[in-house]
A and B are shown apart, each in its own frame.
Chain A
Amino acid sequence: MAYTEKILEKSIDPSVHKMLERAEQLNLETVWDRYEAMLPECGFGELGVCCRNCNMGPCRISPFDDHGPKKGICGATADIIVARNLVRMIAGGAAAHSDHGRDLAHTLLLTAEGKGGGYEIKDEGKLKALAGEYGIETEGRSKEQIALDLARAVYGEFGKQEGFVQFTRRAPEKRVALWKSLGIDPRGIDREIVEIMHRTHIGVDNDPVNLILQGLKASIADGWGGSTIATDLSDVLFGTPMPVRSQSNLGVLKQDHVNIIVHGHEPVLSEMIVAASNDPELVALAEKVGARGINVAGICCTGNEIIMRHGIPIVGNFLQQELAVITGAVETMIVDVQCIMPSLGPLSECFHTKFISTSPKAKFPGATHMEFSEEKAFDIAKQIVQAAVENYSYRIPEKVLIPEDKTECMVGFSAEAIVKALGGTLDPLLNAIKSGDIKGIAGVVGCNNPKIKHDHGHVALVRELIKNNVLVTTTGCNAIACAKSGLMLPEAADQAGDGLKGVCRSLGVPPVLHMGSCVDISRILTLCAAIANALGVDISDLPVAGAAPEWMSEKAVSIGAYVVSSGIFTVLGTVPPVLGSKVVTEVLTRGANEMLGAAFAVEPDPVKGAGLMIAHIEKKRQALGI
């Protein structure tokens, strides 16, 4: 089937081509149509030089020297405005990740108190390990008693005023000492986010570098705090992921099943939906309405959470959420928080699909709100699944078109799973790095963005890395892109350079390791810290690099900031809104190197981006003398 150039240029994924053609036939709007309608995008916004922080404005600085205002009404220069806007983005991202972490702490607390509506502590070993980090007594105590102390201690991290956030101490001592010397060792998670909002208010912090330092501080509270909490408490409650096989892409939806999509981020909801979908009563009901069963599948990071813990198939990444509805085969799209397009409501109304919002924090136009609460989790999940099953008979057969595309994948490489695959110690990995079989490790993460051909940025960059013997760890929408492209199979080792190919074959693992959702970038940090500690060096000395080839969200800005703060060189595939300030651009791309031993680079071409990462890795190898 030949598609128009207009469709082909939007994605590398054939399922997307098929569904975009379907959208055209049905005259339905998608994110790509809205993107085109938005062009040209406002240049002031692109440069980061507009400010709406007070009502003397809005102000914007002309980027041309000979024309237009050079200062905001308060006197803020482009440097000040760009820095303020950037750190507010970090605040937004850090708040989102950390609030996700807070919800897990809340769920653990309720579970420990016996008030969790169906949750249990699945990984007692990890519970005890985390308790050990906090110095919580574990000997002779029940897992509930330990969990109660742990939950309270973790809860305390958010509102803490002084001291430090415990999990930041996983970082090498040198890194922590550096953070302290720069004044960016976070005191508490919420405090650093709030301080950004204070500092960026009219007439407070007007030093671009001082502003950026506070942004880094909040981002560290995200990466080594809120995100780590989200990851580790999820593991305690739902189990630490271990390698499991599954399938990815729109073809995982089933013609003759009740299709339930869970979309959003927090496993607190999706875990219960998965459990409820196995409830015999509901399975029987599905059969009664003429379906052959209940098929749960995920989108975005909720999809990553459940694929890696249960092998539940994943429908697609961020830019595929509307396309899933357009298959006409989705009984319900259940959402919680983050990266959920408000367009899903009106779009669902064109089909029988029920769009169900569940979080008191996130309501949507056109959605049915079925509010979720941890105390009654299983009961509410059953009601939601029942609503999905009952909706099956309203499916409109002539509107159903499910693409056949689906790809096998092996996922679930938590740091613990990686160590296990290596035989219980990091040594084989360290030896492979030293010998040069593995040149280094890349963390490739981030969103989708219609500014970049869907999945092309992700897949082309990852392919180039593995070809050059760089082991890739991945989370988020990049992980889903790699799964769909067949890069998460042990057989994909054939696409890797000889060294990496040999290592993957001997261990039976793919060259691209799925480490989870976007909060699970904390797993990559933990792994890097463990490697650095094993070698007695700082993370910035390691042959590692990061990339976010198709990033778009504020969370990604916070991620980039904490990855660089952790000492990891990071390549961005889309230009952040900072080019209006020479000072900010200089700090991010060069000055950060002197401060943190790492900086950002921007490279929209994914193959060139991979080239920058490989060059960086080679440089670090030379410095280490390996």
Chain B
Amino acid sequence: MSQPKEIFVKTDRCVGCLSCTIACAVEHSKSKPLFGAISETPVPKSRVYVQWVEPEGKVPLVCRHCEEAPCMYACISGAISRDENGVVITDKDKCIGCWTCVMVCPYGVIGRHLEEHKAYRCDRCPDREIPACVSACPTGALVYDTVDSFSGKVRKHASRELLLAEGG
């Protein structure tokens, strides 16, 4: 079975341009292109967040779609489930807006849709091969990859650093 891909974050790459948040909101709009999306009501919402951490930290955060997703276990209305691709999804019809998922999410990446009275979060862009935020990221801070491939690249980098440190 092929491994599912995740959205990984390279925190040292983020320059805080917020391109990911714009792309996410546009992808989740009705009209899609930016110029149409900006005049929609309700305003299309981004599901990716770029958090500012003093003095210079800029950290993109998005739903990790945790294997043991706390939100899924905590949801009292049974609205949260995992689809066949491993994506944790909230069934809007079942969501009662109790925000228990918000309370238990360790990343704080579940939002409140004020107009719909529902929780919303990253859905990994089901219509796209690569999530919109990842495509939009101009610096490669967001990476869409499998765990094996991603950690393989990290190992390769670490090995190179190790050899350099040893005077290689």
Chain A interfacial positions (CB closer than 8 Å to B): 39-47, 60, 62-64, 66-69
Contact segment of B12-20, B82-90, B104-112: B12-20
Q: Does B73 contact A (CB under 8 A)?
A: no
CA A42 – CA B16 in complex, angstroms?
A: 5
User: What would be 12 A-B contacts, judged by CB atoms less than 8 Å apart?
Assistant: A39-B16, A40-B14, A40-B58, A42-B15, A42-B16, A43-B17, A43-B139, A45-B17, A62-B139, A66-B140, A67-B140, A68-B139
Flag if A39 contacts B52 (CB, 8 Å): yes
Closest to A36 in B: B52
Report B25 CB to chain A, min CB distance, Å: 16
Q: A42-B15, A43-B58, A67-B13 are in contact. List 6 more A-B contacts (CB 8 A).
A: A42-B16, A43-B17, A44-B15, A47-B15, A62-B138, A67-B140
Q: Does B50 contact A (CB under 8 A)?
A: yes
Name the A residues within 8 Å of B51 (CB-CB). 40
CA A46 – CA B16 in complex, angstroms?
A: 10
Closest to B17 in A: A42
Report A476 CB to chain B, min CB distance, Å: 26
Report B142 CB to chain A, min CB distance, Å: 11
CA A43 – CA B59 in complex, angstroms?
A: 12
Chain B interfacial positions (CB closer than 8 Å to A): 13-18, 50-52, 58, 138-140
Flag if B52 contacts A40 (CB, 8 Å): yes
Count: A-B pairs, CB below 8 Å? 45
Flag if B13 contacts A64 (CB, 8 Å): yes
Flag if B16 contacts A63 (CB, 8 Å): no
Name the A residues within 8 Å of B140 (CB-CB). 62, 64, 66-68
Assuming A43-B17, A43-B58, is B52 touching A64 (CB within 8 A)? Answer: no
Closest to B143 in A: A67
CA A40 – CA B15 in complex, angstroms?
A: 8
Name the A residues within 8 Å of B16 (CB-CB). 39-43, 46
Report B161 CB to chain A, min CB distance, Å: 15
CA A63 – CA B14 in complex, angstroms?
A: 10
CA A41 – CA B18 in complex, angstroms?
A: 9
Flag if B138 contacts A60 (CB, 8 Å): yes
B138 contacts which of A39, A40, A45, A68 (Cβ < 8 Å)?
A68
* Max chain A C-beta neighbours (<10 A), residue from B14, B17, B51, B52: B17
A40 contacts which of B13, B50, B139 (Cβ < 8 Å)?
B50
Name the B residues within 8 Å of A68 (CB-CB). 138-140
CA A39 – CA B15 in complex, angstroms?
A: 11
Report B15 CB to chain A, min CB distance, Å: 2
Name the A residues within 8 Å of B17 (CB-CB). 42-45, 60
Name the B residues within 8 Å of A47 (CB-CB). 15
CA A40 – CA B18 in complex, angstroms?
A: 8
Name the A residues within 8 Å of B14 (CB-CB). 40, 43
CA A62 – CA B137 in complex, angstroms?
A: 10
Closest to B52 in A: A39
Report A8 CB to chain B, min CB distance, Å: 15
Name the B residues within 8 Å of A46 (CB-CB). 15-16
CA A44 – CA B139 in complex, angstroms?
A: 10
A63 contacts which of B15, B18, B50 (Cβ < 8 Å)?
B15
The 5 closest A-B pairs by CB, nearest first: A43-B15, A40-B16, A67-B140, A39-B52, A40-B58
Name the A residues within 8 Å of B13 (CB-CB). 64, 67
Flag if B138 contacts A69 (CB, 8 Å): yes
Name the B residues within 8 Å of A42 (CB-CB). 15-18
CA A45 – CA B18 in complex, angstroms?
A: 11
CA A46 – CA B15 in complex, angstroms?
A: 9
Flag if B139 contacts A63 (CB, 8 Å): yes
Report B12 CB to chain A, min CB distance, Å: 9
Report A48 CB to chain B, min CB distance, Å: 12
Closest to A68 in B: B138
Assuming A40-B58, A42-B17, is B50 touching A64 (CB within 8 A)? Answer: no
CA A64 – CA B13 in complex, angstroms?
A: 8
Report B16 CB to chain A, min CB distance, Å: 3
CA A40 – CA B51 in complex, angstroms?
A: 7
Name the B residues within 8 Å of A41 (CB-CB). 16
Report A578 CB to chain B, min CB distance, Å: 15
Closest to B16 in A: A40
* Max chain A C-beta neighbours (<10 A), residue from B14, B15, B50, B138: B15
Report A582 CB to chain B, min CB distance, Å: 17
Closest to A67 in B: B140
Report B55 CB to chain A, min CB distance, Å: 9
CA A64 – CA B140 in complex, angstroms?
A: 9
Name the B residues within 8 Å of A67 (CB-CB). 13, 139-140
Name the B residues within 8 Å of A44 (CB-CB). 15, 17, 138
Report A2 CB to chain B, min CB distance, Å: 23
CA A63 – CA B58 in complex, angstroms?
A: 15
* Max chain A C-beta neighbours (<10 A), residue from B50, B51, B58, B138: B138
Report A579 CB to chain B, min CB distance, Å: 11
Closest to B50 in A: A40
CA A46 – CA B58 in complex, angstroms?
A: 13
Closest to A42 in B: B17
CA A46 – CA B140 in complex, angstroms?
A: 18
CA A64 – CA B143 in complex, angstroms?
A: 15
CA A39 – CA B50 in complex, angstroms?
A: 9
